[in-house]
Amino acid sequence: MSFLGFRQTADIDVVLDCSDTRKLAEIKTEDGKKERHYLYYDGETVSGKVNVTLKKPGMKLEHQGIKVEFIGEIELFQDRGNHHEFTSLVKDLARPGDLLQNTSYSFEFVNVEKPYESYTGSNVRLRYFIRVTITRRLSDIVKDVEIIVHTLSSYPEVNSPIKMEVGIEDCLHIEFEYNKSKYHLKDVIVGKIYFLLVRIKIKHMEIAIIKRETTGIGQNTFNENETLAKYEIMDGAPVRGESIPIRLFLGGYDLTPTMKDINKKFSVRYYLNLVLVDEEERRYFKQQEIVLWRKGDKPRTRIQQQPQQTVEQKQKE
């Protein structure tokens, strides 16, 4: 009823603790723009202050309670409006009453579980945010502040190379090898193609990185393929016995970790597609799944920081 102009309204600001030291991360929004938000990891405490600024000094704001929530949710674009919350924590900041002046409340969600990585795809979005609600009789005042979560993995225990011999009978036999099956996001794919038999006229060869986003379950699964990169690795026709080296830097592309069956709602997988193109533009290809994972920048210093934080907080209390 604010348009009537006589009711009190308020602005809500959320200031996260250590917001000057905390790193920012970028994430694409649905319309392709990039946004920057504070970056959190699984298990970290989310704390901060909620500042309520009254717009009209001298007038009181009646409310039915003020609360702050930490929400992690998955939104499938095929059924919009249906948000699946997998994490939801609530803290009450104030009992029903009146606000007479600008007030700030501090809140703390201790060691919050953030099991999944923030993700915006073509059919699904996974996001975390802090929502402050001032409950009122007719319309609530709500403020959402988004944060980004990255999931870190340690170096995989088994990381065998991918090596395979493929071809078309009596036409083209090749052997390809990629040095690993699991790459971190800034990794380098080192590999080679070895030609065993060449009876077609090859014009060039390229490697494509394909992202496959699967949403839904059972019969309602929906796949979306996107070619993120095309990288030429050979120009011209090879003969038998030739080796073509591959060195593909993943850091240059916009990749996320591989995500498998996130909350039984969606998956994001990555494939290397090796494509040979002949003189008549016929294309011969072989797809191979690779697992992408996010490596921690400085795992050791981060672990050291965390206990310090908790000590400080205890001192405050």
Partner 1 sequence: MNTVNGSSADGPTQESTKRLQAKKQTLDDAYAAPANFLEIDVGNAMTHGFARNRYTDYEIRLRTNLPIFKSKESSVRRRYSDFEWLRNELERDSKIVVPPLPGKAWKRQMPFRGDDGIFEEDFIEDRRKGLEAFVNKVAGHPLAQNERCLHMFLQEPVIDKNYVPGKIRNT
Residue 250 DSSP symbol: G
Distance of closest approach, residue 182 Cβ to partner 1, in angstroms: 14
Nearer to partner 1, 140 or 297 (CB): 297
Closest to 285 (Cα-Cα) out of 230, 219, 222: 230
**CA-to-CA dists, residue 180 to 188, 270, 276, 302, angstroms:** 10, 14, 22, 27
Looking at 10, 191, 258, 259, which residue binds partner 1 (CB under 8 A)? 191
CA–CA–CA angle 41, 128, 55 (5° rounding):
120
Q: Is residue 240 close enough to count as binding partner 1 by CB under 8 A?
A: yes
Q: Is residue 15 close enough to count as binding partner 1 by CB under 8 A?
A: no
Nearer to partner 1, 95 or 300 (CB): 300
Looking at 23, 28, 199, 302, which residue binds partner 1 (CB under 8 A)? 199
Of 84-143, binders to partner 1 (CB under 8 A) are none
How many CB atoms are closer than 10 A to CB 92? 11
Q: Which two tokens stand for residue 275?
A: 């494509």
Looking at 177, 203, 229, 294, which residue binds partner 1 (CB under 8 A)? 177
Q: Is residue 252 close enough to count as binding partner 1 by CB under 8 A?
A: no
Size of the site for partner 1 (CB under 8 A): 34
CA dihedral of residues 112, 117, 118, 121 (deg, nearest 10)? -150
Q: Is residue 250 close enough to count as binding partner 1 by CB under 8 A?
A: no
Looking at 170, 236, 283, 316, which residue binds partner 1 (CB under 8 A)? 170
Token pair 């019969």 in the structure block, residue: 219
Please answer whether residues 60 and 74 qualify as being in contact, where contact means their C-beta atoms are separated by less than 8 angstroms: no
Which residues form the interface with partner 1 (CB under 8 A)? 168, 170-172, 177, 179, 186-188, 190-192, 194, 197-202, 237, 239-243, 245, 247, 249, 278-280, 282, 298, 300
